[in-house]
Structure 1
Amino acid sequence: MDNLQTKETINYITELVLKEVTSLGFKLQKERNKVPVSISARHLHLNREHLDLLFGIGYELTKVKDISQPGQFAAEEKVTLVGSRGRIDNVRVLGPLREETQVEISATDARVLGIEPIVRNSGNHEGTPGLVIVGPKGILNLKRGCIVVERHIHMTPEDAVNFGVSDGQKVCVKVDSIRGGILDNVFVRVQKDFALDMHIDVDDSNAFLIKNGDMLEILK
């Protein structure tokens, strides 16, 4: 083999290696941009006053299992939600207790209840509708705090650096499924005690055929 042929062979092999390395780098970067997803069914968070009203003075929630975020859990306790048009039974309470009661439903649930579906970040209750909550010991006429929660991603500050995002930023997330697509306006929430997890509601899950534990890609 002469020098020209040797040079051409080396160039060809080098080109193949560079393509493979580039492809591998793209795949690794894509994997690094993925987050696990959890599907949030309708539920509510109660404050101390409202827990006492619905379940009895001094009542304590009974933990059934931990959920994705550290310190939070699904409780055994359930209530009934009542709106102007309908009701939804067996809505689970999540713990621990919060400073302000919040009911989280899907847009479909809102229509069943006869409530205007207001999309808000958790904790932002200004201008949101209320509803009636029926517990085993009492009835609560909640004035506000019933929301369709914004799609959001929990992450630590280290995660935020790795993904190149910041607290409060909104990103796009790609869904690879038979009915895949792009989820817009996904709110990034950064806190040191968070666990990396994206939360969507049942409506989004059904529309895109997403399952718990699926890995979705942040596009930004």
Structure 2
Amino acid sequence: MNILEQKDLINCITELVVNEMAAHGIGIETKRSLVPVSISARHLHLNKEDLEVLFGSNHGLTKVKNISQPGQFAAEEKVTLVGPKGEIKNVRVLGPLRKETQVEISTTDARALGIKPVIRESANLKETPGLTLVGPKGILTLDKGCIVAERHIHMTPIDGLNYDVTDGERVSVKIKGHRGGIMDNVVVRIREDYTLDMHIDVDEANAFGISNGDMVEIVR
């Protein structure tokens, strides 16, 4: 199933859910605009094979704490990122394991490492730069997979209705405060197992003076 088919399926399921709720007299919340923010520090996701190269055969991730999205967690495992110009130590692995290894850094990190910052949605790794990962048991050189994650908002289908947005839509977000402003090109991601949350990186948070848990407003 391609991306367009997935989005059509999500919208179809959402419509069916709304109609079923209406048939049972269950109302939908009034339109909302405020969204909580979580700041994503540099991190990486590993597949099973790469985890074992870095941490040893049959190694499993050790959960430290849950993070904002259901089923995802910060792990105890950390690696060193090595680029052409520098390295960054103690970069945390997030779980669970994925099908493809992905490293998420900020533009500032990319420059420190000496690689070109490429802004992408998660899992879109074609023609992205690689780098070297150093773990306690091994070294792994990636030929791709390092991205600056596109800022995005996680929502459930019901959230999408309440905020009047669709999966894949790009919106603008207003930030209040002394360094506030408008953040454009924020991607909306809608899935049943998501929790309402906007994700930005450290560079973006510092530029706008945002802290974890702050509320921002979708203004289109």
> If the length of structure 2 is used for normalisation, what is the TM-score?
0.86
C-alpha separation in 2, matches of 1:31 and 1:131:
44
Q: Percent identity?
A: 68
Where 1:182 maps in the other structure, the secondary structure is strand
Q: Return the offset for 1:30.
A: 11
Which ranges of structure 1 fall in alignment gaps of 5 or more residues? 1-28
C-alpha separation in 2, matches of 1:173 and 1:95:
29
Matched with 1:49 is 49
* C-alpha contact 1:30 1:217 (8 A) present in aligned 2: no
Where 1:32 maps in the other structure, the secondary structure is coil
Structure number with the higher helix fraction is 1
Where 1:111 maps in the other structure, the secondary structure is helix
What is the 5 A alignment of 1:111-150?
A: 111-150=111-150
C-alpha separation in 1, matches of 2:53 and 2:212:
34
- Cα deviation per residue 1:12-69 (whole Å; 9 max; x = unaligned)? xxxxxxxxxxxxxxxxx99920000000000000000000000001101100000000
* C-alpha contact 2:64 2:76 (8 A) present in aligned 1: yes
Matched with 2:105 is 105
* RMSD, aligned CA: 1.3
* C-alpha contact 1:107 1:117 (8 A) present in aligned 2: yes
Q: Return the offset for 1:166.
A: 0.3
Q: Greater CA radius of gyration, 1 or 2?
A: 1
- Cα deviation per residue 1:45-95 (whole Å; 9 max; x = unaligned)? 000000000000110110000000000000011000000000000000000
- Amino acid across the alignment from 2:207: A
Asked whether 1:203 is paired with 2:164, we answer no
C-alpha separation in 2, matches of 1:214 and 1:32:
16
Matched with 1:18 is none
What is the 5 A alignment of 1:69-218?
A: 69-218=69-218
C-alpha separation in 2, matches of 1:31 and 1:56:
50
* C-alpha contact 1:73 1:94 (8 A) present in aligned 2: yes
Where 2:160 maps in the other structure, the secondary structure is helix
> If the length of structure 1 is used for normalisation, what is the TM-score?
0.86
Where 1:52 maps in the other structure, the secondary structure is helix
C-alpha separation in 1, matches of 2:140 and 2:55:
11
Which ranges of structure 2 fall in alignment gaps of 5 or more residues? 1-28
- Amino acid across the alignment from 2:75: A
C-alpha separation in 2, matches of 1:56 and 1:188:
37
